Amino acid sequence: MAELTLLTIHERDITSEVCRRCARCCEVDLQLTNTNPRYRRFLRGVGFRLTPPPKEGSDDCCDAVHDVTLHLGPCRHLRKDAVNGETLFSCGLYGDARRPELCEHFNCVSWAKASNSYNLGNAMLRAAQEAWLKATALEPGETKENAHAA
Average pLDDT, the chain: 91
Binned at pLDDT 50, 70 and 90, residue 4 comes out as: confident
Q: Quote the pLDDT of residue 148.
A: 37
Cα–Cα nearest to 127, from 26, 48, 52, 50: 26
Q: What percent of the chain has pLDDT over 70?
A: 90
pLDDT value at 80 more than 90: yes
Beta strand pairing call for 66-74 and 27-35: antiparallel
Q: What percent of the chain has pLDDT over 90?
A: 84
| pLDDT digit string, tens, across residues 44-75 | 999 999 999 999 999 999 999 999 999 999 99
- Give the count of beta carbons closer than 10 Å to the beta carbon of residue 70: 16
| pLDDT digit string, tens, across residues 19-29 | 999 999 999 99
C-alpha span between 93 and 78 (Å, rounded): 9
Q: Buried b / exposed e across 104-136, counting CB within 10 Å, b at 16+? A: eeebbbebbeeeeebeeebebbbbbbbbbbebe
pLDDT value at 96 more than 80: yes
- Residue 3 has what DSSP assignment? P
Binned at pLDDT 50, 70 and 90, residue 149 comes out as: very low
- The residues pairing with 90 across neighbouring beta strands, listed in sequence order, are 79
pTM to 2 decimals?
0.77
